[in-house]
Amino acid sequence: MKLFGVNFDFFNSSFFIEINVTTFIILILFIVTFLIVLLFFLMSYLFYFFEKRFFDKF
């Protein structure tokens, strides 16, 4: 069976699946770290904003 010039009778699919799983895990790790950093900066900005807005009246 040939598809896009690749002979799938001799195609080792375990290596391909392993590469896909590792890239998927790396992608999930990057997304989680990005969201944690984004939430940290958002919390610090909101804390600064509300401190300036409501508690620095004196």
Residues 2-34: pLDDT tens digits?
556 666 666 666 767 777 888 999 999 999 999
Look at residue 45 and tell me if it is in a domain.
yes
Strand, coil or helix: 6: strand
* Structure confidence at residue 14 (pLDDT): 72
Domain residue limits at 46: 13-55
Higher confidence at residue 35 or residue 18?
Answer: 35
Look at residue 39 and tell me if it is in a domain.
yes
Look at residue 37 and tell me if it is in a domain.
yes
In the Cβ-directed half-sphere of 45, how many Cα atoms lie within 13 Å? 6
Res. 50: pLDDT tops 70: yes
* Structure confidence at residue 28 (pLDDT): 96
